[in-house]
Structure 1
Amino acid sequence: MNQQDAIDAINQAASPKIKYAFADIDGILRGKVIHRQKLLDSLADGSGFCDVVWGWDSSDTPYDNGIITGWQSGYPDTPVRIDLSTLRHIPWEDNLPFFLADFSNPNGPDLAACPRSLLKRIASLCRDMGFHAEYAQEFEWFNFRETPQSLQTKGFRSLEPLTPGMFGYSILRPSLESSFYHDLFDLLTQFDIPIEGLHTETGPGVYEAAIMHDEVLRAADKAVLFKTGVKEIAYKHGIIATFMAKWNADLPGCSGHIHQSLWNADKSQNLFFDPSKPGKMSELMRQFIAGQLYCLPHITPMFAPTINSYKRLVEGAWAPTTVTWSFDNRTTALRILNQHEKLTRVEHRVSGADTNPYLALAAALASGLYGIKHQLSLDIPPSVGNGYADKQYGILPANLYEATQQMARSPIATELFGSEFVNHFTRTRDWEWRQYARQVSDWELKRYFEII
């Protein structure tokens, strides 16, 4: 949609209200409802948003190590741009017009911390190299018959799952909540997030959805909106949806796998597919895979951004732990699917459901392009059988602290994303680790309180 089409649409809307939002460093949508006139005025005069959203964490606690903003700067307004091409109407809110925004400055550089601005820069580099990046993210998440109030009252314990037991790919279980199940598919599709597939996964109350693929920035927009959209639709049904990577040690984790391919500029040819080469893999695809494997240990926090992320990345939990790739193998970091040209792609399996999609897709694309730019050779052979056992080419960091320290020191990360972003992002992850380290867990109390 071009700018004039968007302006005409909001002028013709029955209500003068407009909602807009942007994703913070954790991928959480922050925004507000404004009058249509405020939006129209901002097209000429610009707009601002309090930059505290880059100076606090997911619970609104200010960082003590921030440099982009903080008490030292007084948390001023920062230029924000509402992207009119992202106009949607929220079907579960009386078709309220909605826009995505990012912190881009028409009179200067974009805000280094802004995830959407970072992905836009990586996508532009991809186009300059002559490629069209086609991406999609799929998500698993747990559903509970709870409310925000009951979560607090129960202390996040003894929660009631939407359905009991382990029943993956069940046709039966969704019929218990058919209105919720079909609302997810229908309302998200109406919200311009077309769903390719929706089904139960193994675990009590677990669903999985695959979003239809699109150009990389639009794919990330859809993934960000998908997570919040699912939560809002769930609210309407008295349900809480969680995208935590691992909410229970005894149950499977929740992935956010990334499907990716590069095409020529007019999208007439999948550049990863070459039937004349071994494995039908083009040299470009091999370089792309080599780049992703080489960069992965340097940028792991962008695929595993929370303390909890690393509870999912353990052996035998359907999530990778090693620097590996293979053909249609769900135990490796990269899974290659290449039966025919149209569907040939690389599935990045490290990414969890708790990721910020802008950062996860930026990391995946930038690392793949790094391999192409440097013409890296794919010297790592495909894993055969159990990828967890194939540790000869490296393993993933074991926790957020280890991963963050490695990224903060890495010249590779700086080359991919710039020093300002790496500095800000790793400071936020260091803060996250320190908040965790100062807590006393139930496990510690049970293990040490009486006995030690």
Structure 2
Amino acid sequence: MNAEQVISYINDHNIQKIKFAFADVDGILRGKVISKQKFLDGLQSGYGFCDVVFGWDSTDAPYDNVDLTGWHSGYPDKQCFIDISTFRMIPWEDNVPFFIADYSGPGAKALEVCPRSLLKNIISECDKLGYVAQFAQEFEWFNFYETPQSLQHKGFRNLEPLSPGMFGYSILRPSQNSAFYNDLFDKLTQYQIPIEGLHTETGPGVYEAAIHYAPTLEAADRAVLFKTAVKEIASQHGLTATFMAKWNENLPGCSGHIHQSLWSAEGGKNLFYDDADVNKMSELHQHYLAGQLYCLPHLLPMYAPTINSYKRLVEGAWAPTTITWGIDNRTTALRVINVSEKATRLETRIPGSDTNPYLAIAAALASGLYGIKNKLKLNIAATKGNGYDNKANGILHSNLFDAATAMQNTPLAKELFGEGFVKHFTQTRLWEHRQYAKSVSDWELKRYFEGI
């Protein structure tokens, strides 16, 4: 719908309130419910929103190391703008209208730290090159018979999973929780997040969902909304869903793999496919893949943004640790899927389910385009067999501090995303490390309390 059609719909259905939200640096949706009149008044001029949403972390603790905002600036408002094309209704909230917002609007300079605005800039570069990028993200997450109150009461210990045991691809487990399972599939699709597949993964109470591919911005919007929508639907069933990358050291982590391909602007041809190549990969595809391999160590925090992300990126845990690629190889960082012309794509396997989809997808697309623009050669051979053993081309940083420091110091990140974003984002990641470094863990107490 365009703006005129949306306004007519809201008036015709006597809608009195509208919900909107945008993603912060961590990918957390921040938003409001506003009156119909406020919604109408701000469609062109935007809506003032306290810029603390880009000046605090996921626990609302204000950063002390960023320039964008803070006590020094007085935390003023910045204008965010609703994207009218994102109109949808929330089926589990009496079909209240919902819109996605960001910090780029008519005649306004985009806020450089806004993740959605950043991705829009990368998409614009792709458009100028004449390509249509298609993306999709898939997520794994764990479900528990817990509430926010019970989690706090238990100290996040001894949690009761939705189902016991390791039972990947089970037909039985979803049937035993059919009301929740069907609500996920049906209501997400009604919410314009079309689900391609939904199944259990190996682990107690863990599900995986693949979202249908779409043009880049729409794909990222779907991925961002998916995580909050799952949590809200779960809550209605007395459940809590977590998208932590690794909630338990003894269980597999949760991935957020990104699938991508480039298509011709006219004719709808998959430009990643070449039937004459031994791997069915076009030269464009090879440049794109080479770009991701080259940029990967410089941009890792955009794929792995939390302390917990790196607990998942360990050997033998279905997550990559090396700078590698392979044909249908799930042990490498990048997996080429070439089963048919239509389905040929690249899967970036580094991201966990804790990623900010706007930033992870921006990193993937910008890296690929970098390879194309610089005609990078795919000089790294495809890994056959165990990618964990192939360390010839380097390994991924094993912690957030090293990854964020590398990104902060590389000119490449600034070239791709601008100095303002890179400075702010890496400072937020280093803050995250600092909060972790000063905490005292249960592991330390059990190990040192009596023995030292």
TM-score by length of structure 2 reads 0.99
Equivalence for 2:91:
91
Q: CA deviation at 1:266?
A: 2.9
1:67 matched to which residue of 2?
67
Letter in 1 for 2:406: Q
Aligned to 1:336: 336
**Counterpart residue identity of residue 253, structure 2:** G
Q: Deviations over 1:175-228 (max 9, x none)?
A: 121000000000000000000000000000000000000000000000000000
Secondary structure of the structure 1 residue equivalent to 2:37: helix
**Map of 1:307-322 to 2, 5 A cutoff?**
307-322=307-322
2:141 aligned residue: 141
2:201–2:207 contact (8 Å) kept in structure 1: yes
Separation in structure 1 between the aligned mates of residue 47 and residue 163 of structure 2, nearest angstrom: 45
Question: Deviation per CA, 1:8-39, whole angstroms, max 9, x where unpaired?
Answer: 22222343110000000000000000011111
Q: Secondary structure at the match of 2:279?
A: helix
How far apart in 2 are the matches of 1:11 and 1:72?
A: 43
2:211 pairs with 1:211: yes
Q: How many residues align?
A: 452
Correspondence list, 1:86-125, <5 A: 86-125=86-125
SS of residue in 1 equivalent to 2:72: coil
Once superposed, what is the RMSD of the aligned Cα atoms? 0.8
- Write the distance in 2 (CA, Å) between the matches of 1:9 and 1:352: 38
Aligned to 1:197: 197
Match of 2:33 in 1: 33
Indicate if the aligned counterparts of 1:105 and 1:111 stay in contact, CA closer than 8 A. Answer: no
Mapping 1:221-260, distance limit 5 Å: 221-260=221-260
Amino acid at match of 1:214: A
1:276 corresponds in structure 2 to: 276
Tell me the residue number matched to 1:405. 405
Q: Distance in 2 between matches of 1:13 and 1:72?
A: 45
Tell me if 1:51 matches 2:38.
no
Render the CA deviation track for 1:238-294: whole Å, top value 9, x for unaligned. Answer: 000000000000000000000000000135100000001221110000000000000
Alignment match, 2:262: 262
2 CA distance for matches of 1:267 and 1:247? 45
Alpha-carbon distance, 1:448 to partner: 1.2
Q: How does 1:297-312 map to 2 (within 5 A)?
A: 297-312=297-312
Letter of the structure 2 residue corresponding to residue 243 of structure 1: F
Per-residue CA deviation, residues 420-444 of structure 1 (Å, 9 max, x unaligned), is 0000000000000000000010111
Separation in structure 1 between the aligned mates of residue 10 and residue 266 of structure 2, nearest angstrom: 31
Which amino acid in structure 1 is aligned with residue 196 of structure 2?
Answer: E
SS at match of 1:343: coil
Structure 1 residue 109 displacement after superposition: 2.0
3-state SS in 1 of match to 2:67: coil
* Structure 1 Cα separation of the partners of residues 255 and 176 of structure 2: 24
Q: Distance in 2 between matches of 1:267 and 1:168?
A: 39
1:108 is displaced (CA, Å) by 3.9
CA distance in 1, matches of 2:165, 2:329: 26
TM superposition score normalised by structure 1: 0.99
Hey, what's the Cα distance between the residues in 2 that align with 1:266 and 1:311? 43
Asked if structure 2 preserves the Cα contact closer than 8 Å seen for 1:145 and 1:162, the reply is yes
Distance 2:189 2:59 in 1: 30
Whether the 8 Å CA contact 2:46–2:105 is kept in 1: the answer is no
- Alpha-carbon distance, 1:104 to partner: 1.4
User: Paired residue for 1:296?
Assistant: 296
Compute the displacement of 1:306 (Å): 0.2
Matched, 1:389 2:382: no
Residue identity opposite 1:347 in structure 2: E
TM-superposed CA distance for 1:141, in Å, is 0.1
Q: Which amino acid aligns with 2:354?
A: D
* CA distance 1:398–1:32, shift in 2 (3 Å): same
Quote the Cα distance in structure 1 between the aligned partners of 2:30 and 2:445.
36
> What CA distance in whole angstroms lies between the structure 2 residues aligned with 1:225 and 1:254?
17
| Residue aligning to 2:151 | 151
Query: Which runs of 5 or more structure 2 residues have no equivalent in the other structure?
Result: none
Tell me, yes or no, if the aligned pair for 2:146 and 2:238 is still in contact at 8 Å: yes
**What is the deviation of 1:174?**
1.0
| 8 Å CA contact retained: 1:18, 1:34 | yes
Q: 1:31 & 1:13 partners in 2: Cα distance?
A: 23
User: Matched residues in 2 for 1:338 and 1:289: separation?
Assistant: 14
2:393 and 2:277 mapped to 1: Cα distance?
Answer: 24
**Counterpart contact for 2:252–2:317, Cα < 8 Å:** yes
Residue pairs, 1:159-178, within 5 angstroms: 159-178=159-178
Letter in 2 for 1:36: K
The DSSP-based 3-state class of the residue aligned with 2:342 is helix
Secondary structure of the residue aligned to 2:301 is helix
Identical pairs, percent: 68
Q: Is the 1:288–1:367 contact (alpha carbons within 8 Å) kept by the matching residues of 2?
A: yes
Does the CA-based 8 Å contact 1:6-1:85 persist in structure 2?
A: no
The question of whether the paired residues in 1 share the 8 Å contact of 2:92 and 2:233 is answered with: yes
Equivalent residue letter for 2:391: K
Q: Which residue does the alignment assign to 2:5?
A: 5
Q: Distance in 2 between matches of 1:443 and 1:284?
A: 48
1:43 deviates by: 2.2
Structure 2 counterpart of 1:323, one-letter code? I
Equivalent-residue separation in structure 1 for 2:210 and 2:347 (angstroms): 12
Answer yes or no: is the 8 Å Cα contact 1:81–1:105 preserved in 2.
yes
Q: Which runs of 4+ in 1 moved over 4 A?
A: none
Report the Cα distance in structure 1 between the residues aligned to 2:353 and 2:242, rounded to whole angstroms: 9
